[in-house]
Amino acid sequence: MSNIEVRPLGYAAGAEVLGLDLRKPLSSTEVDQVNAAWHQHLVLVFPGQDLTPPQLIEFTGKLGDIERNENVPYYRHPEYPEVLLVTNKQVNGKPSQTRNTGRNWHADLSYTDRPAKGSVLMCKEKPDVGGDTMFANMYMAYETLSPIMQKFVDGLEAVHDITLIKGFNRRDPAQVADLKAKNPPIVHPLVRVHPDTGRKSLFVSERVRNFVGMTEEESQPILDFLNMHATSPEFVYRHRWNLNDVVMWDNRCTLHIALKDFDQSQPRHMMRCSMLGEKSGYVLPDEHEEGSAKSALVAVS
């Protein structure tokens, strides 16, 4: 009999899970309980879990198929490709390319055709204060739109672009060129139906360039509104990290942002595993982009 206790941490999202030692394999009952809590609270916090990379991989693998980070191969753990290192510590004597990762609102791997199902982040080192992460409930973001706006966004497709990662073009130029080649702009529905809960959520972020069939100029005011609405304080849970916290979020119905609210001379070192999500995207053909541009020119000529 499992002794799991789930304590809500926020109204919009977030719950603390007690009574589990993630260094040990989860039973099927425990997996079911974690999944139930995950679907209810979207973001789960497992405090006091000092995991090794293999233990983090094993826990993540109990909840979904493991992502091997092939789309971002430069930032992986040298021995465990399933583990992405999010750190401001030097790597090979150079500043880490992930030291400013996550500085704008996003869903993990939305620039691929299989955005992450979920992610699990382990805090190994942290600054004295700050370095928080905020999560937004995208169910609430959709459900609080007016019926007319819901009908409008239900039919839109969004173009997600890796180059809109904040600070992306300040990374190593050779790596940037390769990442752009590996990850061309990709299209996802703006509104997605969660495969487990059946609820609709917005799939928008600050890494969306435009909507299919619309110019960037036409798209931007709509994107500005949706991103502002989706990250309203009443939809957000802010996590203040403790050492050895493990935080797991449902990437299909949340956004998150890593805050730069700490002394950058102090270490912030995290390990992240992600689960493969459902295939939902397609690469926008070049001729489609050209056609949209031509249509816009015709419209104003």
Sign of CA dihedral 39, 43, 47, 49: positive
Reported as a single tens digit per residue, the pLDDT across 62-90 is 999 999 999 999 999 999 999 999 999 99
Confidence of residue 245 (pLDDT cuts 50, 70, 90): very high
CB neighbours of 181 closer than 8 A, spacing ≥ 6?
none
162, two tokens: 């890796």
Active site residues: 106, 108, 256, 272
Q: Each residue of 159-215: pLDDT tens digit?
A: 999 999 999 999 999 999 999 999 999 999 999 999 999 999 999 999 999 999 999
Confirm whether pTM is higher than 0.75.
Answer: yes
**Which DSSP letter does residue 277 get?**
-
> How does DSSP assign 184-245, residue by residue?
--EEEESEEE-TTT--EEE---TTEEEETTS-HHHHHHHHHHHHHHHT-GGGEEEE---TT-
Q: What is the mean pLDDT of residues 8-22?
A: 98
| Residue-range domains of the chain with CATH | 5-295 (3.60.130.10)
Residues 19-72 have pLDDT tens digits of 999 999 999 999 999 999 999 999 999 999 999 999 999 999 999 999 999 999
Tokens of 270: 């995290």
**pLDDT the model gives residue 296:** 37
Q: What percent of the chain has pLDDT over 70?
A: 94
What are the residues whose beta carbons fall under 8 Å from the beta carbon of 232, sequence distance 6 or more? 141
Mean pLDDT of the region 257-277: 97
Q: What is the pLDDT of residue 284?
A: 84
